[in-house]
């Protein structure tokens, strides 16, 4: 039993992630970026088969320990965005594609992926804020984000969550596409996921797991 747990939790080494897996994820990120920018969604036909294939690959590659690595990777990569979706009305597609990427990468590489995507998303947000309103809007946006987090956290402690519908109602709605209204100021997150994946690939190849 102990050996099984150790095998389940053992780290994945850098050389165990072939380049074709990273290329697959980059290709998926490109498709997600196109669909997110054009239709404000990352479709299930992309995310769910990719997630299932990642779990299956882990199992076929290393049996139950491999499946465990894939599952842990999915959780590590997607947990932050799942929380964001539940509490703040973030994108479900963003969360699902991050989980799918994590299933292919395993736990250690997924931690790097999550950090890279988070940093890339923050930089993207700053660029968008500056391009739309200038440097003066950065403090305002940060303050608004802190207030939103504080409010959503209090609501969550009461068992209430700000899902997509509530998030849309709390902001002025702009129809970016006929079937997917989004709050004004909405920014697609798939480009940040794509760039963050490439950054994670570079870091993993150069340095491996975080020490």
Give 144 or 90, the one with higher predicted confidence: 90
pLDDT tens digit string along 140-159?
455 455 555 455 455 545 55
Cα torsion through 184, 190, 192, 195, rounded to 10: -150
Distance of CA 197 to the CA centre of its chain: 10
pLDDT tens digit string along 12-66?
444 579 999 999 999 999 999 999 999 889 999 999 999 999 999 999 999 999 9
Q: Beta-carbon neighbour count of residue 48 at 10 Å?
A: 14
Alpha carbon distance 188, 88 (integer Å): 15
The pLDDT score that the predictor gives to residue 122 is 86
Alpha carbon distance 184, 186 (integer Å): 6
Residue 175 confidence (pLDDT) above 70:
no
Residue 76 confidence (pLDDT) above 90:
yes
Residue 183 confidence (pLDDT) above 70:
no
Give 100 or 92, the one with higher predicted confidence: 100
**Mean pLDDT of all residues belonging to the chain:** 78
Residue 69's pLDDT band (boundaries 50, 70, 90)?
Answer: very high
Residue 173 confidence (pLDDT) above 70:
no
The pLDDT score that the predictor gives to residue 135 is 53
pLDDT tens digit string along 120-138?
988 888 887 777 665 555 5
Alpha carbon distance 11, 112 (integer Å): 13
């Amino acid at each position: 039993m102990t050996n099984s747990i150790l095998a389940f939790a053992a780290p994945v080494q850098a050389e165990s992630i072939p380049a074709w897996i990273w290329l697959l994820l980059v290709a998926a990120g490109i498709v997600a970026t196109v669909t997110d920018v054009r239709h404000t969604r990352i479709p299930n036909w992309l995310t769910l088969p990719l997630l299932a294939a990642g779990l299956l690959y882990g199992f076929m590659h290393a049996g139950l320990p491999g499946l465990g690595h894939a599952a842990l990777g999915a959780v590590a990569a997607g947990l932050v965005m799942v929380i964001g979706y539940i509490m703040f009305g973030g994108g479900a597609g963003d969360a699902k594609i991050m989980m799918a990427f994590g299933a292919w990468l395993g736990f250690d590489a997924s931690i790097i992926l999550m950090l890279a995507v988070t940093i890339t998303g923050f930089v993207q947000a700053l660029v968008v804020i500056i391009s739309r309103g200038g440097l003066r809007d950065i403090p305002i946006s940060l303050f608004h984000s802190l207030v939103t987090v504080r409010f959503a956290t209090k609501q969550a402690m009461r068992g209430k969550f700000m899902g997509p519908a509530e998030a849309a109602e709390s902001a002025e709605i702009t129809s970016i596409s006929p079937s997917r209204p989004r709050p004004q100021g909405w920014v697609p997150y798939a480009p940040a996921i794509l760039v963050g994946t490439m950054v994670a690939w570079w870091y993993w190849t150069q340095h491996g797991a975080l020490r």
